[in-house]
Structure 1
Amino acid sequence: MSDVSQGAAILGHENLQNRMANPPAGQPKFPTRAQLTDTYPTDSMKLSSFFNGEGIVLMHQPAAFTDGDTMVYFRGSDVIAAGEIYRTTTYPVIDVAKGGTINGVIEGLNHIIDLSVPEFRSEGGTIIIPAYGRISDIADVAYYRDMVTILRDRIQDLVKKGMTLEQVKAAKASADYDGRYGATTGPWTTEMFIEAVYKTVPRAGSTK
């Protein structure tokens, strides 16, 4: 993206702007040139036709990576920029402190699948660009969605049995996927993912 000083626009959901304008205590404020130049409200999508003359749709996916995630659908090119909702290299990153949840991630992946067209029904099929990793198609996202759903269900079952966070971590519910998506070091480890799922799976009596 071009530098804002050169006239580029930075668009995002209003929740993102609110978090950028009011960072947690101890964290520096974002510089002015990094602030959004336009926002769209909750439960809204914004259709524009300013990107090289092509119509694009900005879609808010609530409570996924955070509560301010945006996916961008390039209608003419049939390309979805999934942002942090989808990646091919690790388990989903869920920022619980900023409103992220495991169910929001799964809903976001389902949204991508609903928008996508498989290759046999369209020339080349919908192209899906992840936050990190290789360019994907609908089958890749469906596999990732299924994996995340399986792990959500496994961890939720352990929660229903009354296990503590440490007991859930020790159960290694993700062991059969760790070789592909897991990590023991770095910015997002398997244990961090397990903890985020543990904290955000619906409990008994919850409607989330």
Structure 2
Amino acid sequence: MRSASSRIALLMAGAAALAAAQSARVPPPAPTGDLDVLPVQGNVYMIAGAGGNITVQIGEMGVLVVDTGLGSMSDKVIAALRKLSNKPLQYIVNTHFHQDHTGGNEAIRKAGVTITGANVTGNLTDARAGAQIIAHENVLDRMSAPTGKQAPTPADSWPTETYTSGQKEVFFNDEPVQVIYQPAAHTDGDSLVFFRHSDVISTGDIFVTTSFPFLDLEHGGSIQGEIDALNRILDLTIPKHDEEGGTYVIPGHGRICDEFDVVEYRDMVTIIRDRVQAAIKKGMTLEQVKEAGYTKDYDVRYDTKTGFGSAASFIEAVYKSLSKKK
């Protein structure tokens, strides 16, 4: 179990991370203060305070990071990575495309290298190429643009290696790493990242501890996909004893968790989904559903009052997701 001081630091880090907006459409404000670098277990660490949480795997072969935080925090993130390891940064995995998780891609990628045959021979280094960026193909689609159009992000921040379904596998630092696609969850390009030997899952914004879910309907998110993804996390997690410990879960924002935390979150999301579904069957309008207070028993814990992750925005997203024509 972690010390009380560690838990306090995690809660403070979660509050700082929540200040970063979770949409690629609105430039989020830069966080203030230093980063928190916390050991999780095995070869895995968490960096909090750079926007979305950043997961770091270190070992003899090099460094792999999941998400890169906001661009304004890249220098601090790179400095934190160098304190953790003097080995080369070789891989970046993006859980989705929002700026608080991909804004540091360009700078952090340039701080890394591509090593041809890294999983086999570990030679033929090309520092000019920077680290490889792995993500679902929909992340690349959201960050880039068709020829002749202005892309929303610089080309050097785009994923360099994508997959379209199922999962992408990397064997790095003597550990199998699975990048697992979760269709139509928080967005249409979400991936879970499972470090099998360390027994740690990085969830991106599918799971957070600081707010209600942000369902980005405009970019392919849905309430059923969100619940399916939370259930997939639970399929992968195994508690050590008395529902504590075992597999650790790094959320997109907030503190380090275990299976029971995800169970509570999944149950909350499912209960609210069922309440809204029942209201729709009764013919209630969106405004009536908003006024019904279907989140009140969870508001103290999860309601951010305004913006993404607030009770009002979550209820609206659930209503619209359930109301879509099949």
TM-score, structure 1 length as denominator? 0.89
Displaced runs of 4 or more, over 6 A:
none
Aligned partners of 1:202, 1:167: CA distance in 2, in Å? 14
Is the contact between residue 210 and residue 302 of structure 2 (CA under 8 Å) also seen in structure 1?
A: yes
2:241 partner SS:
helix
Is the contact between residue 244 and residue 258 of structure 2 (CA under 8 Å) also seen in structure 1?
A: no
Q: Does 1:47 align with 2:47?
A: no
1:158 maps to which residue? 279
Is the contact between residue 244 and residue 259 of structure 2 (CA under 8 Å) also seen in structure 1?
A: no
2:212 maps to which residue? 91
1:84 partner SS:
helix
Match of 2:143 among 10, 13, 20: 20
1:200 maps to which residue? 321
Output the aligned Cα RMSD.
Answer: 2.2
Q: CA deviation at 1:190?
A: 1.4
Which blocks of at least 5 consecutive residues in structure 2 are unaligned? 1-64, 66-88, 90-107, 113-129
2:109 maps to which residue? 4
Q: CA deviation at 1:202?
A: 5.8
TM-score, structure 2 length as denominator? 0.58
Q: CA deviation at 1:27?
A: 8.0
Q: CA deviation at 1:53?
A: 2.8
Larger Rg: 2
Aligned partners of 1:122, 1:176: CA distance in 2, in Å? 23
Once the two structures are superposed, residues 10-64 of structure 1 have per-residue CA deviations (whole angstroms, 9 ceiling, x without a partner) of 11001111121239xx98521122100110112x2112102x2321000000101
CA separation of 1:123 and 1:164: change in aligned 2, threshold 3 A: closer
What is the number of equivalent residue pairs in this alignment?
A: 201
Match of 1:118 among 223, 231, 239: 239
Aligned partners of 2:264, 2:294: CA distance in 1, in Å? 18
CA separation of 1:197 and 1:138: change in aligned 2, threshold 3 A: same
Once the two structures are superposed, residues 164-202 of structure 1 have per-residue CA deviations (whole angstroms, 9 ceiling, x without a partner) of 111110111111111110122244321111110001126
Once the two structures are superposed, residues 77-123 of structure 1 have per-residue CA deviations (whole angstroms, 9 ceiling, x without a partner) of 00000111000110011000001001111100100000011112999
Which blocks of at least 5 consecutive residues in structure 1 are unaligned? none
Q: Relative contact order (C-alpha < 8 Å, sep 6+): which is higher? A: 1
Q: CA deviation at 1:157?
A: 0.6
Aligned partners of 1:16, 1:198: CA distance in 2, in Å? 25
Match of 2:221 among 100, 103, 117: 100
CA separation of 1:11 and 1:171: change in aligned 2, threshold 3 A: same
1:183 partner SS:
coil
Aligned partners of 1:96, 1:53: CA distance in 2, in Å? 38
Is the contact between residue 143 and residue 151 of structure 2 (CA under 8 Å) also seen in structure 1?
A: no
Is the contact between residue 249 and residue 259 of structure 2 (CA under 8 Å) also seen in structure 1?
A: yes
CA separation of 1:90 and 1:34: change in aligned 2, threshold 3 A: same
